[in-house]
């Protein structure tokens, strides 16, 4: 075979048809729908499943040569992402037709053969947040082995790639996430691109990879990719939304898609002429990419004069016929390669498995070193818990009075050790998307990462086990011998590792994290009950006793009990009967008051004790270790196999889910494909007058709003954050304003501080310090400011189970309760969302727009990731809102010339967060172009996009050297000395003296902090939380299943312990997720208060917990009086006993269920006493029974008296400190503590809010 890449045929596809399969009854699941799932599944076995086959791609044909770059264009829903996924082999949820022909270098297209050779990069950036950027790139380079063409040293390769993508400054910075401060969004995007760049894949599919990058950075990336494509002879296909002409010119061919049809595929330079000949007209200053995608949208395309009746109406079919001849040429070239003999493929992984494991171990150690606080905190926390528990069981006596306590202690310590690895499931799911991404890149096999993860976690687990168990062992006076201590640690460590493997196995066998939580919670409960302590082996029902044989904890507990009790004698602490009428000094007619005692003996054989009560035998000690290790190996093997072959649940091609019975099939009345006019006049009437930026129908409304609204303005704004001991300035001396009725663009290179400025102006900063003057007219913004402004964030933050309509209704009812429904209908029509209004989860931006804001609307990259037509629609909506009097400030990265003309004013920041320009844009951007040309920049030719031209002349787009940065610095200096800035400062001073603004702000300041009343907030928020729970059946049925299993168990304290584990694995993560949503959006927008958030969540959780079970924290179990009676607790811990809510819960429930009840002992619990010769059992023990209680089973017998020490539950309860007369006291105490805890929850978490604006203006 010729290894020259240019000699290989590349990727060819012919008659490519792709389908998506989905059931017609796929709707959003609820708790009710799950009840019908089982009968429906049975019914499907007897009938043909009714499925819908969605035809996504229709008859695609073409060829991608090595060394060539193809640009894929199309509106959302046209099939761009699907096409790129199919070529890269990402096929989950997709079905390629059998008659489709796809060849990669002459080989049939299969996923196994494409690993490492074909890479698909989606829009999401997933990385290990603990690693630095340098460590991430170095690892990627190391996985390429000797095939790396840049350098044999992985570190050198990582630095070279970082330099190519201008990431040198962030090379030693952590990637970061929501919890770890790290890279900016643009830097993360470039890091993802750099990873793919290092992989040197033969086929690279980039899906909107320039999202979040400014135009100059995006151009630099595409130019670098062009150069590397030529050097490495890779085949590159890339989809880009809003591609500039400079970016477009770097591609060899362009493919245009429309509704799943390929309507153009050919050279980039011929595309415009092709559509011009069909009758379409390219607007002036429109980019070529925007023009091509506009022809697929009836409202955007322009028809040449004389072609009104000749231009194709159905672009999908008419234009497909026009390119048939061009496709045949490509098919002819493909047939020559189809006839070639199959060739062997090289191994996709460039380093052996041993090296993969070594690199993954190194990576795991770096993650631990960079983020050592959580494991260290876990070790310290477990040590503290061990000391607390050890103090409760401090220095257990060596006699029989400590035997039961030793059994309880061993069981309790085993539970803590065994269930600590349950959180491995959450950690595994946190890194699973990253591992699967790197598997697709052929960096390493998934099972090698699992092996490395097990090895890297081993030191932490060993340290935790030793620091917990050694102090506990010696403080509690367990068996004092080196052999016993060694055996104790061996079995606990083996159990920890085995349970860790079990939880990892459950996680790797599941496709979603929710599927992992249910079996984990169930197993915790079952394993606890069938360990052998709560239900001894002899008392287990036969049909469930097999659960003990599958339980590694049961085998570990048996060995721990054998290790502590076997071959050991315990002096008797209490001999019965004694007192008046009974002899002293001998053991005739007496017995030790412990189960398993032998009449006449003054001590107890530990082996006999555990054999009689628990059926444990000393011969099983090391046999159990072998069983545990065998389970460890089995679980580990299953885990590794599942990790390699069972991927996480993947997307099924962006299928919309609807509520049952609510799916909408209606179209908008003005659906352009259904009927429209293509005349220029008709098209023009649908648009706003761009030059004047005015619409006559809204002029009066706008003037009225301007009269009663003040101008929002700011000056001398600085923003800085503390990074370790260094202070980093994000913004420096920024000034500007936003007038009512104006649309202002905020622009700058990636990392210029645009989002930080929006956060500062909207009073949303969580960290750092903001200084400067921020005014609304002549007054500082009041406490109601946040709810009167809208803020559309970069991230799509929504409740995942809500629908589009419900999201809008929720915002409208809380922020505009007077006329919300009308606003919802209007916004749905403006955003063209009526066709999927009942689909689950909405579109970013609509929630803020429906709020009908009184002051301002901030938007952070609202058009990023959208095609030019959708971006145009969004900006047109903003233009209409501005024309109606709304003040709008929006950050925008890659605006086309048409979009740029929609804005009134520009605020431009340089790379250091300083102002480079603030002022009017002017007609055809003449004002801003004149400013920069006057100060020595290159001329802006008529064909150039003014927005891109401005970024290029003010940024370091040309090169990364110091000269370009000097030029960027010069623009800030020129602005500081310009007459334009002096005019801006004078205007800001005039705004501060505005009497209208002062009156306006004073009037607004008397309004309440939240628009809706407390009752409305509580009602709306509670309804949404109930709705969220109802639509999460996995969570609800997990509670129900746990409750059903627990009902069959009779030992209440252990029910509370296992319910605690369910709380940790389910309740707490859910509350944290809800709190994150509240803090990220709803608290900042003053939709509703923290008190309402807590009240709604507590009420809903209490409702479902009442149905399922009551949850308590496990530490309270130690001090509730069951494990250790209150009289036996150390004096120091008595206050905890009184403070524990579980104390009053246990006392109340035990009294309610057991008080005034007779007790009958089992055969094992009977004490066998031999009476003196000539006396019956009843006669001999009557005096003792009158004094101590109990009863004799055979009073007439003259030997072997069967005596039970307890006959009444009241006596038993009094022995553990529970009084039957205190039941209502317990209820009152428990209610009081519940009220206190809930009241603490309502307290606003000031520590989490960060810097609070007490004074809206902070003078420099």
pTM beyond 0.75: the answer is no
Q: Is the pLDDT of residue 147 over 60?
A: no
CA distances from 1096 to 788, 836, 1018, 1100 (A): 24, 28, 7, 6
**Is residue 605 domain-resident?**
no
Task: Place 460 in a pLDDT band, splitting at 50, 70 and 90.
Answer: very high
CATH number at residue 701: 3.40.50.300
- Note whether 1109 and 1199 are same-domain residues: no
Span 733-742, average pLDDT: 90
Task: Place 906 in a pLDDT band, splitting at 50, 70 and 90.
Answer: very high
What are the backbone angles phi and psi of residue 938, rounded to the nearest 5°?
-65, 155
**Is residue 969 domain-resident?**
yes
Comparing CA positions, the residue from 658, 1010, 1080, 668 lying closest to residue 851 is 1010
- Note whether 994 and 1050 are same-domain residues: no
Give the separation between CA 799 and CA 1028, rounded to whole angstroms.
8
Give the separation between CA 133 and CA 129, rounded to whole angstroms.
9
Span 553-577, average pLDDT: 92
Output the pLDDT for position 854.
Answer: 56
Output the pLDDT for position 276.
Answer: 86
Give the separation between CA 1166 and CA 1160, rounded to whole angstroms.
10
Last residue in a domain, options 149, 167, 200: 200
Q: In this prediction, what percent of the chain has a pLDDT beyond 70?
A: 70
Give the separation between CA 977 and CA 964, rounded to whole angstroms.
20
Output the pLDDT for position 1106.
Answer: 63
Q: Is the pLDDT of residue 565 over 90?
A: yes
Look at the chain and report how many structural domains it folds into: 5
Span 1197-1218, average pLDDT: 80
H helical segments located in 48-126: 80-88, 111-114
**Is residue 582 domain-resident?**
no
Output the pLDDT for position 675.
Answer: 35
Give the separation between CA 472 and CA 485, rounded to whole angstroms.
11
Last residue in a domain, options 178, 200, 222: 200
- Note whether 383 and 468 are same-domain residues: yes
Q: What is the pLDDT of residues 197-251, one digit of tens each?
A: 887 778 888 888 877 677 777 888 888 888 888 887 888 899 887 788 888 989 9
**Is residue 1256 domain-resident?**
no
- Note whether 932 and 1051 are same-domain residues: no
- Note whether 638 and 525 are same-domain residues: yes
- Note whether 360 and 474 are same-domain residues: yes
Output the pLDDT for position 836.
Answer: 63
Give the separation between CA 708 and CA 740, rounded to whole angstroms.
10
User: Is the pLDDT higher at 447 or at 309?
Assistant: 447
Angle at 95 between CA 94 and CA 97, to 5 degrees: 150
Q: Are strands 261-267 and 101-104 parallel, antiparallel or unpaired?
A: unpaired
Output the pLDDT for position 702.
Answer: 44
Residues paired with 103 in a beta bridge: 12, 108
Q: What is the pLDDT of residues 653-671, one digit of tens each?
A: 445 555 555 554 433 333 3
- Note whether 1053 and 912 are same-domain residues: no
- Note whether 781 and 868 are same-domain residues: yes
**Is residue 901 domain-resident?**
yes
Span 252-280, average pLDDT: 88
Output the pLDDT for position 853.
Answer: 52
**Is residue 1142 domain-resident?**
no
Of 92-101, 115-124, 1031-1040, least confident by mean pLDDT is: 1031-1040
Output the pLDDT for position 622.
Answer: 93
Give the separation between CA 1256 and CA 1003, rounded to whole angstroms.
17
Output the pLDDT for position 922.
Answer: 86
Give the separation between CA 859 and CA 848, rounded to whole angstroms.
9
- Note whether 865 and 739 are same-domain residues: yes
**DSSP secondary structure code for residue 647 in this structure:** P
Q: Whole domain around residue 1189: which residue ranges?
A: 1167-1207
From the number of C-beta atoms within 10 Å of its C-beta (0-12, 13-18, 19+), residue 267 rates as exposed
Span 760-776, average pLDDT: 83
Q: What is the pLDDT of residues 1019-1030, one digit of tens each?
A: 888 888 888 777
State the virtual CA torsion across 555, 558, 563, 566 in degrees, nearest 10.
-140
Last residue in a domain, options 584, 615, 645: 645
Q: Is the pLDDT of residue 448 over 60?
A: yes
Output the pLDDT for position 392.
Answer: 85
Output the pLDDT for position 1121.
Answer: 54
Q: Is the pLDDT of residue 396 over 70?
A: yes
- Note whether 946 and 1082 are same-domain residues: no
Give the separation between CA 1018 and CA 691, rounded to whole angstroms.
47
Span 559-579, average pLDDT: 90
Q: What is the pLDDT of residues 6-65, one digit of tens each?
A: 445 578 888 888 887 655 445 566 656 655 655 665 665 555 555 567 788 888 888 888
Comparing CA positions, the residue from 277, 285, 295, 289 lying closest to residue 251 is 289
Task: Place 849 in a pLDDT band, splitting at 50, 70 and 90.
Answer: very low
Output the pLDDT for position 476.
Answer: 93
- Note whether 709 and 637 are same-domain residues: no
Output the pLDDT for position 735.
Answer: 92
User: Is the pLDDT higher at 639 or at 1108?
Assistant: 639
- Note whether 1046 and 900 are same-domain residues: no
**Is residue 726 domain-resident?**
yes
Q: What is the pLDDT of residues 797-818, one digit of tens each?
A: 667 677 777 777 777 777 666 6
Unique residue bearing structure tokens 């005034």: 1156
Give the separation between CA 74 and CA 479, rounded to whole angstroms.
74
Output the pLDDT for position 860.
Answer: 81
Q: If you average pLDDT over every residue of the chain, what do you get? A: 75
Q: In this prediction, what percent of the chain has a pLDDT beyond 90?
A: 14
**Is residue 242 domain-resident?**
no
Is residue 75 within 8 A of residue 296, CB to CB? The reply is: yes
């Amino acid at each position: 075979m010729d290894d020259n890449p240019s000699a290989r045929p590349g990727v060819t596809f012919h008659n490519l048809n792709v389908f998506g399969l989905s059931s017609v009854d796929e709707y959003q699941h609820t708790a009710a729908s799950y009840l019908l799932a089982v009968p429906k599944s049975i019914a499907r076995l007897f009938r043909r499943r009714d499925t819908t086959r969605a035809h996504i791609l229709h008859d695609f044909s073409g060829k991608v040569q090595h060394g060539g770059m193809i640009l894929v264009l199309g509106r959302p829903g046209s099939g761009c992402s699907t096409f790129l996924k199919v070529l890269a082999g990402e096929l989950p949820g997709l079905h390629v037709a059998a008659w489709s022909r796809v060849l990669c270098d002459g080989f049939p297209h299969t996923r196994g053969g494409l690993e490492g050779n074909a890479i698909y990069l989606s829009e999401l950036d997933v990385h290990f947040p603990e690693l630095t950027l340098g460590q991430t790139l170095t690892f990627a380079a190391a996985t390429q082995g000797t095939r790396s063409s840049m350098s044999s040293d992985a570190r050198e390769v990582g630095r070279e790639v970082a330099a190519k993508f201008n990431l040198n400054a962030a090379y030693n910075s952590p990637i970061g996430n929501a919890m770890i401060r790290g890279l900016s969004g643009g830097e993360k995007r470039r890091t993802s691109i750099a990873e793919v760049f290092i992989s040197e894949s033969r086929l690279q599919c980039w899906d909107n990879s320039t999202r979040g990058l400014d135009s100059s950075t995006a151009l630099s990336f595409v130019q670098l990719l062009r150069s590397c494509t030529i050097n490495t002879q890779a085949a590159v296909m890339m989809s880009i939304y809003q591609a500039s002409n400079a970016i477009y010119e770097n591609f060899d061919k362009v493919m245009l898609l429309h509704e799943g049809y390929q309507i153009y595929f050919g050279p980039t330079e011929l595309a415009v002429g092709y559509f011009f000949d069909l009758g379409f007209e390219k607007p002036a200053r429109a980019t070529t990419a925007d023009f091509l995608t506009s022809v697929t949208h009836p409202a955007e395309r322009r028809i040449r004069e004389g072609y009104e009746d000749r231009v194709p109406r159905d672009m999908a079919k008419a234009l497909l016929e026009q390119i048939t001849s061009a496709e045949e040429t490509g098919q002819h070239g493909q047939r020559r390669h189809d006839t070639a003999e199959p060739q062997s493929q090289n191994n996709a992984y460039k380093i052996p498995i041993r090296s993969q494991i070594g690199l993954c171990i190194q990576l795991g150690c770096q993650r631990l070193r960079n983020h050592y606080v959580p494991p260290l905190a876990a070790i310290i926390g477990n040590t503290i818990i061990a000391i607390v528990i050890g103090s409760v069981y401090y220095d257990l006596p060596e006699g029989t009075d400590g035997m039961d306590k030793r059994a309880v202690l061993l069981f309790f310590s085993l539970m803590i050790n065994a269930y600590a690895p349950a959180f491995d499931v959450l950690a595994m799911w946190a890194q699973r998307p990253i591992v699967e991404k790197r598997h697709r890149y052929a960096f390493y096999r998934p099972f090698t990462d699992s092996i490395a993860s097990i090895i890297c976690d081993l030191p932490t687990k060993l340290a935790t086990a030793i620091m917990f168990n050694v102090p506990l062992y010696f403080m509690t006076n367990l068996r004092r011998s080196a052999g016993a201590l060694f055996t104790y640690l061996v079995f606990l460590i083996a159990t920890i590792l085995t349970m860790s493997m079990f939880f990892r196995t459950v996680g790797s066998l599941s496709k979603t994290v929710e599927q992992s939580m249910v079996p984990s919670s169930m197993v915790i409960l079952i394993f606890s009950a069938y360990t052998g302590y709560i239900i001894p082996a002899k008392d287990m029902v036969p049909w469930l006793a097999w659960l003990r044989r599958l339980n590694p904890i049961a085998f570990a507990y048996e060995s721990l009990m054998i290790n502590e009790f076997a071959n050991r004698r315990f002096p008797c602490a209490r001999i019965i009967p004694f007192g008046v009428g009974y002899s002293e000094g001998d053991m005739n007619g007496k017995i030790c008051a412990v189960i398993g005692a032998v009449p006449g003996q003054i001590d107890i054989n530990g082996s006999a004790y555990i054999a009689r009560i628990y059926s444990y035998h000393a011969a099983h000690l090391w046999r159990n270790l072998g069983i545990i290790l065998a389970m460890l190996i089995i679980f580990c093997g299953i885990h590794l196999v599942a990790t390699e072959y069972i991927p996480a649940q993947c997307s099924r091609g962006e299928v919309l889910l609807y509520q049952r019975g609510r799916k909408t099939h209606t179209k908008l009345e003005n659906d352009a494909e259904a009927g429209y006019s293509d005349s220029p006049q008709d098209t023009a009437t649908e648009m706003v007058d761009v030059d004047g930026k005015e619409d006559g129908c809204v002029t009066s409304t706008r003037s009225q709003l301007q009269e009663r609204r003040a101008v929002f303005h700011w000056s001398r704004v600085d923003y800085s954050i503390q990074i370790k001991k260094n202070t980093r300035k994000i913004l420096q001396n920024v000034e500007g304003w936003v007038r009512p009725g104006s649309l202002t663009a905020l622009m700058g290179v990636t990392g210029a501080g645009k989002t930080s400025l929006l956060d500062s102006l909207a009073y949303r900063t969580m960290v750092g310090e903001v200084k400067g003057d921020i005014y609304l007219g002549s007054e500082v913004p009041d406490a109601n400011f946040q709810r009167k402004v809208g803020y559309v964030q970069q991230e799509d933050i929504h409740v995942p189970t809500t629908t589009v309509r419900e999201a809008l209704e929720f915002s409208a009812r809380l922020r505009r309760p007077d006329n919300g429904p009308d606003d919802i209908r209007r916004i749905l029509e403006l955003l063209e969302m009526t066709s999927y209004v009942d689909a689950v989860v909405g579109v970013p931006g609509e929630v803020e727009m429906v709020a009908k804001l009184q002051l301002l609307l901030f938007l952070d990259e609202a058009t990023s990731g959208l095609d030019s037509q959708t971006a145009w629609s969004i900006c047109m909506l903003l233009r209409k809102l501005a024309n109606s009097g709304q003040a709008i400030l929006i950050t925008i990265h890659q605006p086309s010339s048409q979009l740029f003309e929609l804005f009134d004013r520009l605020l431009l920041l340089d790379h250091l967060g300083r102002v480079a320009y603030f002022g009017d844009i002017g007609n055809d951007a003449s004002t801003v172009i004149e400013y920069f040309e006057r100060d020595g920049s290159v001329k802006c030719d008529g064909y150039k996009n003014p927005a891109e031209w401005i970024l290029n002349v003010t940024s370091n787009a040309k090169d990364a050297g110091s000269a370009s940065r000097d030029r960027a610095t010069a623009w800030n200096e020129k602005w500081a000395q310009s007459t334009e800035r002096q005019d801006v400062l004078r205007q800001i001073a005039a705004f501060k003296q505005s009497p209208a603004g002062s009156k306006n702000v004073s009037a607004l300041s008397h309004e309440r902090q939240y628009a809706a009343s407390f009752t409305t907030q509580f009602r709306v928020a509670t309804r949404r939380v109930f709705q969220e729970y109802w639509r999460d059946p996995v969570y609800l049925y997990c509670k129900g299943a746990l409750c059903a299993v627990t009902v069959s168990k009779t030992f209440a304290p252990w029910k509370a312990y296992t319910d605690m584990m369910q709380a940790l694995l389910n309740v707490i993560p859910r509350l944290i997720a809800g709190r994150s949503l509240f803090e990220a959006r709803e608290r900042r927008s003053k939709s509703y208060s923290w008190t309402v958030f807590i009240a709604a969540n507590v009420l809903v959780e209490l409702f479902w917990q009442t149905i399922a079970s009551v949850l308590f924290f496990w530490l309270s179990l130690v001090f509730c009086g069951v494990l250790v009676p209150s009289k036996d607790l150390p004096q120091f811990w008595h206050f905890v006993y009184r403070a524990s809510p579980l104390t009053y819960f246990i006392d109340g429930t035990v009294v309610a269920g057991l008080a005034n009840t007779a007790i009958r002992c089992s055969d094992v619990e009977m004490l066998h006493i031999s009476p003196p010769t000539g006396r019956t059992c009843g006669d001999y023990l009557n005096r003792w029974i009158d004094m101590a209680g109990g009863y004799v089973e055979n009073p007439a017998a003259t030997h072997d008296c069967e005596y039970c020490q307890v006959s009444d539950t009241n006596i038993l309860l009094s022995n553990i400190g529970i009084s039957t007369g205190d039941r209502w006291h317990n209820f009152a105490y428990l209610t009081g503590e519940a009220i206190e805890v809930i009241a603490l929850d309502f307290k606003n978490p000031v520590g989490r809010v960060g810097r609070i604006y007490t004074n809206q203006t902070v003078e420099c």
